[in-house]
Structure 1
């Protein structure tokens, strides 16, 4: 009987030790989970704070029309905030995706907002236009990818326009003055702006981007971007980019000639 009681006491002590160990482990797990939750909550809060400050930087830059540099704006918990205007020039400009009957105004020479056009380019200027994401050899195989492009060249000084058409899929009948994709072609007349209008095969057309190439020099910037960067005092950084194209000539000004 004495041995049995001692054995029971030993088992009870062992059970108590095991329970204590389990409870301690659970306590540590709960504490660790709480710390992690707090860290995540703090990170989310800091991210939201940085994002709000970056948005405010964009709004301030748009309102003032100039760069926002460090010290111009101050927010609680924000270490630094800048919103910088940028513009880029390139020989190969890629348009946004254009749906059926949508158009895009492309400035052949430097444009000074809000309404000053650059001088017209000479008639010898070479221009090359091609689909950005489609193969010219296979784009006509499906109505979802087949399209034509109407090109309206504008000379704001002479107040004149002339039109050309790129129609590899023969979507438009009885047309003249056609260009070809992926071919360098002279303007044939002076112009300082170009309106590109997409004509899809039918309603199933998925839209397309166009690349406008200049073989001899960079095209002028087609708009401006604002890059706003905010950093919190804890080191969280948030960056927002707003892209704004120059004014688009309304489609209502043109009556299709093809």
Structure 2
């Protein structure tokens, strides 16, 4: 059975950073990534990255290149296209699958750097929308959404920033949030609330997404009498 001192699961910025430091300290480590490339969610960031310590890049792809370049120069050991199937904490082993072959790796220490993923609404029609490839970025797809009616669901920084970016391109922008409280930074909230091109709908939830070839409409359920 293969053994490493430190096993890192996840090839995004956190996993890459952990591997670089292990290598710097002379610790035997192995990084596993399920996707075909290292970088994680950096591939989905199309706007400028200005708040990562020591680095400023025009988008996630550029940051991915810089981080992977450093990673490779350090000669860090890694495997991509490797899916973790099971972690046994008692025996300190991990079962993985790569190219239809399963194997076990024994570790002394385990670092989980699996990051986060986009939350789903869990409503009818959502998965079909995703399967059709209707997943858009406000910064990357602004021109594609020009002159269209756009609905953005959420109350965090990403939703508010997206609404701001699209307000000058889309015909209508609806920001729909299930609560009256927002998690977005105050400067984002103030900017959106005062923007006449954006309609903010609070206490409102999406209950279904319709459309066969593309989204044509959504169903809403609201506690706010203003929208009924």
On whether the aligned pair clears a TM of 0.5, the verdict is no
Normalised to the residue count of structure 1, the TM-score between the two structures is 0.22
Higher RCO structure, 1 or 2 (CA under 8 Å, sep 6+): 1
Larger radius of gyration: 1
State TM-score, norm by structure 2: 0.24
